[in-house]
Structure 1
Amino acid sequence: MAGTTGTTGTTGSDWQAWQDSWDRQQEWYMPDREERFRVMLDMVEALVGPAPRVLDLACGTGSITDRLLKRFPDATSTGVDLDPALLTIARGHFAGDARVAFVTADLKDPRWRAALPHDGYDAILTATALHWLPSGDLGVLYGQLAPLVRPGGVFMNADHMPDPATPRIDAAEHAHRHAGMDRAKASGVPDWREWWALAAADPALAGPVKERFAIYGEHADGDTPSEAWHVRTLLEAGFAEARTVWRSPSDGLVLALR
């Protein structure tokens, strides 16, 4: 993937290939990843229509934005993240698309919303990202998000949401999922560490990858509270309704309505 011409016509790297590679690596951990995206966009359409202004929160390479614009060509998206490597891929992949903007911001910084180009959004969407934050910080973030969502708009978070009341079920699901991951690994799918090693070997990404690890370290896992915690905290943050709209054995998609 290094040293090729990207899908946008800029020389440096093949950004479409990196986007696809990120998706494969993420799908290795979450085989049902596309299903959660489908339900997320179904609920966007149901509640705010097919031309929403979206905030892609902790956007990474822009996986949600990519699917959003393919399904809803009249949508617009602001992606916000702190990771310089993933943002480099996102900016390369969407270069020249006037519907998309990206912002570098730290969600732990109380001033992060000042960097956004709009003060309100029809939908704020995020997936498999906010578990990097401890639950205390996530609760603060939820309080900051509510005023950004217009009345009638939605916030959705798809992430790891285990149920502490079912340890044997959780253990069985974990073993089954990891057996499938082992099979996929044998076919050549890169895991997290291997993917980052490949990215660091691309001259267009080597610098941003180095910056990324200086910011985050190897991995910055926070908490993984239950979906009940998410629902309760979103209601306390000022949303009018909140509940789970999709569930896998290990993950949930919680929707909050303003």
Structure 2
Amino acid sequence: MTDTADTTEAAGTTDWQAWQDSWDRQQEWYMPDREERFRVMLDMVEALVGPAPRVLDLACGTGSITDRVLRRFPEATSTGVDLDPALLTIAEGHFAGDGRVTFVTADLKDPNWRAALPHDRYDAILTATALHWLHSEDLAVLYGQLAPLLAPGGVFMNADHMPDPATPRIGAAERAHRHAGMDRAKAAGAVDWREWWDLAGADPALTEHVKRRFEIYGEHADGDTPSEAWHAEALRAAGFAEARTVWRSPSDALVLGLK
């Protein structure tokens, strides 16, 4: 086991910006249009709640959403919540000293997870490529927990894998095309998800956090990927006044719920 003093010393010299950047590059290997969905997400935040929102970055990972929120909206504040100790360590290192940002460790399957948050109300709750780790039943429960956290007129957005079950041939063609592009990127030196975690586990500042992360989550998500129509209907059932898709690719969508 890594000595605590050695881990602390390594963390003090770790380039957290580089780890954040490498996470983004790894995610873009799977989703080359990732920045486009973030742009639309922030466009809708500005349109609906203005340029100085209090944001809840849900299942925040390394803080990719928070990073983009603060670059576009310098007067915003953000609370990042996640259970992954490795990704949270990177996020905390990356945003160290920024008083606009708070991070909370919480399990979204815990009925009391909201008690760990520093605020009772948020203008925007944002999440991307994370909630597919939950089964639909758990996700519907979570949606019901999110509505009371939003101020009147507040907005929730979820960008995630939302394939259309009614168009299987289109979906298959898109997957084949995307995988061909991934293969080309891989040949050019791109790092995939498993390789990224191997690299993170080899960093003394992250070794124990990565080990703990796999103890919590295992190797793969155990959730499912319901359609965008399911998400919109579940949000309306959870108390959102309006819900609809505001962006989509052939395989992913960004669904917005308005309080």
Q: TM-score range by the shorter chain?
A: over 0.9
Matched with 2:223 is: 222
**TM-score for the superposition, normalised by structure 2:** 0.95
Matched with 2:137 is: 136
Query: What letter is aligned with 2:84?
Result: D
Q: Structure 2 stretches of 5 or more lacking a match? A: 1-10
Matched with 2:161 is: 160
Matched residue SS, 1:70: helix
Describe how 1:59-98 pairs up with structure 2 within 5 A: 59-98=60-99
Matched with 2:24 is: 23
Matched with 2:120 is: 119
Residue 53 of structure 2 is aligned to residue 49 of structure 1: no
Q: Give how far 1:220 is off.
A: 2.1
- Tell me how far apart the structure 1 counterparts of residues 139 and 169 of structure 2 sit (CA, whole Å): 28
Matched with 1:192 is: 193
- Tell me how far apart the structure 2 counterparts of residues 69 and 53 of structure 1 sit (CA, whole Å): 11
Residue 224 of structure 2 is aligned to residue 252 of structure 1: no
Query: What letter is aligned with 2:100?
Result: R
> Which deviations, in whole Å up to 9, do the C-alpha atoms of 1:164-197 show, x marking residues without a partner?
0000000000000000000001111110110000
- Tell me how far apart the structure 1 counterparts of residues 145 and 199 of structure 2 sit (CA, whole Å): 36
- Tell me how far apart the structure 1 counterparts of residues 248 and 26 of structure 2 sit (CA, whole Å): 21
- Tell me how far apart the structure 1 counterparts of residues 75 and 130 of structure 2 sit (CA, whole Å): 26
Matched residue SS, 2:81: strand
- Tell me how far apart the structure 2 counterparts of residues 123 and 145 of structure 1 sit (CA, whole Å): 10
- Tell me how far apart the structure 2 counterparts of residues 153 and 214 of structure 1 sit (CA, whole Å): 35
Matched with 1:145 is: 146
Q: Give how far 1:67 is off.
A: 0.3
Residue 176 of structure 2 is aligned to residue 180 of structure 1: no
**TM-score for the superposition, normalised by structure 1:** 0.96
Query: What letter is aligned with 1:222?
Result: G
Matched with 1:6 is: none
Q: Give how far 1:219 is off.
A: 1.2
- Tell me how far apart the structure 2 counterparts of residues 108 and 49 of structure 1 sit (CA, whole Å): 30
Q: Give how far 1:221 is off.
A: 3.1
> Which deviations, in whole Å up to 9, do the C-alpha atoms of 1:136-168 show, x marking residues without a partner?
000000000000011100000000000000000
Q: Give how far 1:12 is off.
A: 3.2
Query: What letter is aligned with 1:54?
Result: V
Matched with 2:209 is: 208
Matched with 2:12 is: 11
Matched with 2:8 is: none
Matched residue SS, 1:173: helix
- Tell me how far apart the structure 1 counterparts of residues 103 and 166 of structure 2 sit (CA, whole Å): 39
Q: Give how far 1:11 is off.
A: 1.9
Query: What letter is aligned with 2:91?
Result: A
- Tell me how far apart the structure 2 counterparts of residues 222 and 212 of structure 1 sit (CA, whole Å): 17
Query: What letter is aligned with 2:130?
Result: A
Matched residue SS, 2:55: strand
- Tell me how far apart the structure 1 counterparts of residues 251 and 156 of structure 2 sit (CA, whole Å): 20
Residue 34 of structure 2 is aligned to residue 33 of structure 1: yes
Matched residue SS, 2:36: helix
- Tell me how far apart the structure 2 counterparts of residues 224 and 103 of structure 1 sit (CA, whole Å): 26
Query: What letter is aligned with 1:223?
Result: D
Matched residue SS, 1:11: helix
- Tell me how far apart the structure 1 counterparts of residues 112 and 103 of structure 2 sit (CA, whole Å): 17
